[in-house]
Amino acid sequence: MEIQQDWKINIVNNNDKYPYVIIDNWYTKSEEKAVWKELEFYNSLPKHIIDRAETTAVAFKNGKSLGKSYRWYLDFLYTQNGRYQSAILNCLYKATSPELLLSTKDFGPYHNMIKSSTDIASLISYYENKDYYDEHYDNFHWTLLIWYFKKPKKFEGGKFILTGPEDEIECKHNRAILFPCSYNHKITPVTMNNNDDDEKNGRYTITHFYYHDKNGDRPFGENL
């Protein structure tokens, strides 16, 4: 499927160990509105029935979760036949487009890992006052993060840092970053302005994890 907009792709390859890709304007204006409706629906649910990273994340140290945030696991929320109801899942074609996959072609063996992926797992995280995610890595092949927040921004912090090269990537609304899951990374604590947690003005991250399922479809990069 043809990408519905002119992405702004920035390939960052300042050192051989930690190349990554930044994509601005990930969603079109119409997609952006649909995604906002979806995020606001999830965040309107009673908080006692929403997952927390403290109990569902796989990144732990000394028996304690490395992160604090609300979470929605999209692959568990929707049946296979019902996935069309999610604007976020309907836009997954972008994550497997040749345009995006080829942006990693000079990343050495890392490129092979994204080409050989056959599936994507998706979740949404919402960070409000004092939420964070300490240094960790992801247990997949590649990670695609898409950042969302209301403007003007109503929080401080929530910075994304690749801790190996100590690269801080500015958190911009509708910006995506694509990087190998083996990179250690973290999100600094969020501080809400005026502690207005109830206004849902915090920091959202839409996460897509690339992985290989031997029973899945053909590899995304099979024809590249």
Residue 146 scores a pLDDT above 70: yes
Residue 70: half-sphere exposure toward Cβ, Cα within 13 Å: 21
Query: In terms of pTM, does the model score above 0.85?
Result: yes
CB atoms within 10 A of CB 1: 7
- Note the pLDDT tens digit of each residue in 70-92: 999 999 999 999 999 999 999 99
pLDDT at position 189? 97
Q: Which of 62, 59, 86, 64 is nearest to 75 (CA)?
A: 86
Confidence of residue 2 (pLDDT cuts 50, 70, 90): low
pLDDT over 90, % of the chain: 78
Domain boundaries, the chain: 8-12+20-211
Which numeric CATH code is attached to 8-12+20-211?
2.60.120.620
Q: How far apart are CA 172 and CA 160, in angstroms?
A: 10
Q: How far apart are CA 129 and CA 55, in angstroms?
A: 18
- Note the pLDDT tens digit of each residue in 9-56: 999 998 778 999 999 999 999 999 999 999 999 999 888 788 999 888
